[in-house]
Structure 1
Amino acid sequence: MNDSNNLLAWPTCPGYVTVRPLKAKSPCKVWLMRRDSDQSYMVLKLSSNAESICSLRQKQVESARKYVIDFYGTLSTQLGEGILMEYCPGGSLAQLLEERAPFSLGECVTALAPVAQTLAALHSTGQVHGDVSAGNVLLTADGMPKLGDFQESRTGIDQTPGSGTPGFMAPEVSAREPEGRLGEQDVYSLGACLWFLLEGTAPPEPNMRPPVTVIFPSVPTLVHELLLDSLHQDPVQRPTAEQFARTLFAAAQAEAITWEQCTPVESTHLMATVHPSEVRGRRRRRRSRRPQAEKGQKDYAAPEWRMHELRRTPGRAKVYLAVAGGVALVGVSFLGVNLVGERGQSESGTLSQTQERREPCRILDGAVVPACAFSAETVIASFIKLSRERDAALESEDLKALSAIYPPASEQFQRDQQTLERLDSLKLGINGLATRLEDISVTARAQPDTVILRATSTQEAYDYVDSANRVVHQVARGTRERIEVELKLIEGNWKIGKVLSREA
């Protein structure tokens, strides 16, 4: 089972929320975490020898901290110990080149010259990285390169041959030959990274490699020579990391790396490099709404179920009702798996034939929760069921059914209860309460048995009716909103927790 769908495979730790796996392979060892205290994002890398790696890691960054992934310590989870590190939302250079054209020479200067300087500092202290590759150079939120993954790092005294990334490691590494001069294998990897960024693929084997003047006709001769020297089969002919950096700086003016529309969608909002026109446009729209708020609109500081204002109706004064229909809690699909119907079909459709044949997840004992209860499909299906039960309970004014949807002492249940009490005092009911459901996904897992989901929804039009079932007010169809909601597993059953955020 893919770890993104199997929530039991997600590491948990008090004070942290597990957002998603950062590697596709299973079992996944690299996870995105969010710290509760300050909502900052970090990377957790599970490792059996976390302590020894961390000790070496701390020693290495003394003289080269700026362009190296920051290390925050270790974290204990139910899956074992892990290293807690800085999160770079821009992803790796390798990931970036999967989505865009090869780099310009100026972008190569920005991406690799600081990394070469960092390696020079490490080499001066007797340390080598051992696995420099485009996949191990990451971009921060500011578009700054940082070198990560020191798992293969070692000291100059340790002559044990390392490994590396195919296409980026020196020929003598495959032959398991020790280094003659400290750092010469890292320099070969730098040259391979430069080739990769300019061409889009790693350099071929030396005996199959075409002339650099043919592959890169538009780059300066200085860069041709740098590629030839760095990728030389004879390690003695390679420059030092410091010489590599100086040559690259001299070859071209540094340029900002273009990452727009190329970074992972789920990380784009964390990147600091935003087009100024887009920022100004958003600010203008926010300012245009402020005068309306000053005229008496209620400002909801905390996420809650939206209140609708009733207009004047014949024979009745203006009525204000806290109707719990403004938040959408349901969605159609998760990671391309259609839970309610085929893509494009309304959420009111029936389950597909494949899902009808699927064995349901049965929780027979609240003390023994089966693994299927933590599958993404089961969680989302439970979410859909709970939200529909909530709509039905509000429309039928069934307080008992409503209480079964929430955990004990739920603030949301208290709001819904107040809504029903207010409706009863006004001799009014609700008819046609429903939500339009789109794009639901599991976004995080928190400690102990809490899952966070995100969904887009639209509140469909509904009516307020009197005791004779006559319509006294119609509420128009609402706008699409993006919400984030907790789901809690209590005694083997999923319950709706807090509404964490909402935005139009």
Structure 2
Amino acid sequence: MDTFSHGGGVNGPPDIAHHDPVRCLGSGAQGQVWLMAPRDGSPPVAAKFVGPPGAPESGSSNGEPPRHNESYITQEWRLLTHFRHEHLIPLRQLVRDARGGQVLLMEHAAGGSLAQIVRERGPLSVGEAVTVLTPMGQVLAFLHGRGAVHGDVSPGNILLSAAGKPFLADFGFARMLGQEAQKVSGTPGFYSPGDMERSDASDVYALASVGWFLLTGRPAPPTRERLPMGTFVPEVPAELVAALEAGLLDDAFQRPSAAAFAQAVFRSAKAVPVALGNAVHPSVLPELMTRHEIHGKADRKRAKVFSFGWFRRKVRPSWRSAARGARPGSGMGMMWESRLGTVRRSRTKRVWVNGMLAIASVAVLGGALLTVSTLRGATRVESEPNDAGAVKLTTDARYSMEWAVGLPSEIMKGLKDQDPVKALQALAWTRSYALSNADEELLARINAPGSATLAADSVIVESLKEQGHSLSGLDIRISEASTDSLESLRSGGDSGSASDPATIAVRATITTSAFAELDGSGALVHRQAEEQLQQLKIIMTRVAERWAITEILDGG
């Protein structure tokens, strides 16, 4: 986020425990970014928050509603924890400030944003532009190959480290595969008004416009008003001009993929480090490795180390091509079906898998949707205990909440809530996050030990890991929840009483978002395109003084 992309005043820093504010790094319509110094002496971090500290989270600046009632901060946190790439801004933690507002802590990119650099020192050279555009094309290809769209690629959202390494940041407008498509929007001048929705093609247009901005100091004008690049930068190679013009085509389907764009830019000219000396805050100058312009043979050799160390010629296939290659009838359910056909004892596993997926409201089996009504009573079937791969927890570890420190603070608070309805909200969110990241330890924390749901989740995670697959866009939400009286399940022991039961049932409407299953290369295996709603009864039990899921039944 940068003042280049949005207007807005500075309302003051967030009040974060154990951190002191240093200075404001950027301010805009979505919020602010402040440099914060940890009191333990560790490196400073960039703290991003929406609106004035403590203000309620809102939708986008063009009036769109929040995505699944999540803030844009939470959306950005989910994407950055789901994907890892050397040119995605490193994430530290999601916390709440003293006023209750969510704050995203990220690595401080001391070189600043491209908007700041161009504003302070003027346009970049051709070689410097190649240094930035190539890795940005690569990271977009990485995201597109996994069904994610950034949605607001702009000079204010591309940051540089003190060494001049570029990072893509600000994922508040991002969309993951399975989430509903949004109308195209973003920073003026860096999206095509003719695009119908945010897509990989709209990201490519934005990056090409960033390239135009880096070389000329202004965004690319509309096609009919755009003069040839050589009018402004006579020394620009024809190959680079061709790459930028292809990315700026009005027809989204004619634009190159992000991977092809990155390769074309890389071949067009030699990359050189971005000179930052005249463009950064004075306090950053001692950290810089690219303080001066490049002159002479020694500096050219140094430039080679900088450039080629970050660039990769091999990139993931684009989402478009991956989607075309998706096989009908494949997916998570297909894995269970194949096991049933070869190993008889897997029938019990199938029952647990279907019981697990009931809370996700949908199971895919050979391409057909299985709702919980077809699984009535399935979770009551006994199975042989299977401790393979189970996460073992000591008594002390069960009571500790250190495992939840990395989760959003509101989720951590919900997991500890003694109200089973509020706890279920947090459990459902954590479960979708854990399944998306194949996190066995998280699943072991939110499901009761030895429960049907833990067995089901373990099978899912094991199978995802075995196949090298992952889930994208999965979001489980709870609504219209109320508790049932379960006199027969109440316990008067140490963990419960008649007035404070150890086991309880919660009837709720479970909404599962559209989601996708991807293989190891990011290719689409199966996509559940529509939301699913079901009425379920969730049996919960007290484990280590908090609620955990035990069993899922038909709520009808």
Give the TM-score, by structure 1 length. 0.49
**Higher Cα Rg, which structure:** 1
Give the TM-score, by structure 2 length. 0.45
